[in-house]
Amino acid sequence: MFPRPLTPLAAPNGAESLGRALRRAPLGRARAGLGGPPLLLPSMLMFAVIVASSGLLLMIERGILAEMKPLPLHPSNREGVVWRGTAPRPGGLSLDAGDSDLQVRQDVRNRTLRAVCGQPGMPRDPWDLPVGQRRTLLRHILVSDRYRFLYCYVPKVACSNWKRVLKVLAGVLDNVDVRLKMDHRSDLVFLSDLRPEEIRYRLQHYFKFLFVRDPLERLLSAYRNKFGEIREYQQRYGAEIVRRYRAGAGPSPAGDDVTFPEFLRYLVDEDPERMNEHWMPVYHLCQPCAVRYDFVGSYERLEADANQVLEWVRAPPHVRFPSRQAWYRPASPESLHYHLCSAPRALLQDVLPKYILDFSLFAYPLPNVTREACHQ
């Protein structure tokens, strides 16, 4: 199915309500000095939302797919590497001609990215970013020199499995099914490990991709995992959240019973650029204006998109993307709907501006938490 148009938080004046929310909680702060991008104004953000959300646009896209600019060709052949599948056709990377849904999603994302990133003052490469933003970006881009690709990892979007794949491609692991605790740093190369001239070369010549997920579903996944299972997060973040937002909390709460609304209140007060990576917006993690990604994959069709990427980078035939573990229960749309409908709507209106670029740039619908929808 095609992505649904963005559904307003309140009907029938949802756009007006979201506009008020954006005015109350702007995405960034104005920065002085050279190199800092200007404040993203609500009017520009609303433009991005409209571009990404319009159902009419999606129908129009189906008729103009032939106008899509081809993605860059894969770098030249490498000696000693056995390729998988069929190489991309001359003229650029290709999608399955029958997968019109994927083509439309990619085209909507590409066009929206161009519209937003084409605004005056938006960053064109990582060196246009303030130092802190550039550091975050370079620490989240993994490098495969043998297969000439860059992958910007996003926590809670199957990044552990992608790291397994990179370790197999590097010869560190025999296969993706090896049972061991994932070390998220060792045997991996990050762009931040390289010199500026090496970074520039790879950004210019390597295939670049990332994977995205519904922003609120990603938040729910982080909430369930970190506050329900990880003691370190309960002590470091959970205890502070309880002290801050729960009336009558003692001086030393355990932090293992944080509620979802309390987590959302915490996010409202956080600067997106300084958030923990597990709930930092994808826009700040991967900076899609400063880095021109060749492909944006979706968590919703993870296996198909991941294996398509492995074909494009010409990974060996035996390397596949790991299957989801049988015991794993990801955050579902039904679970997300329940949690959102249980949270105060005013709170959601304050949280959404933090993630509005993730919704709009990657063509995800805003949640429908109208009274009617929540009582269905």
Other beta carbons within 10 Å of 362: 24
Would you give the DSSP letter of residue 190? B
Interior/surface letters 158-197, b for 16+ CB within 10 angstroms, e for the rest: bbebbbbbbbbbeeebeebeeeeeeeeeeebeebeebeee
Tens of pLDDT, residue by residue over 283-296, are 999 999 999 999 99
Q: pLDDT tens, 213-226? A: 999 999 999 999 99
| Structure confidence at residue 182 as a pLDDT band (50, 70, 90) | low
Could you tell me the strand order of the sheet in which 295-298 lies? 141-144, 149-152, 207-212, 295-298
pLDDT digits over 42-90, tens only? 444 444 444 444 433 333 233 322 333 333 334 343 333 333 444 443 3
Hey, which residues does 360 pair with through a beta bridge?
Answer: none
Check whether 346 has a pLDDT greater than 70. Answer: yes
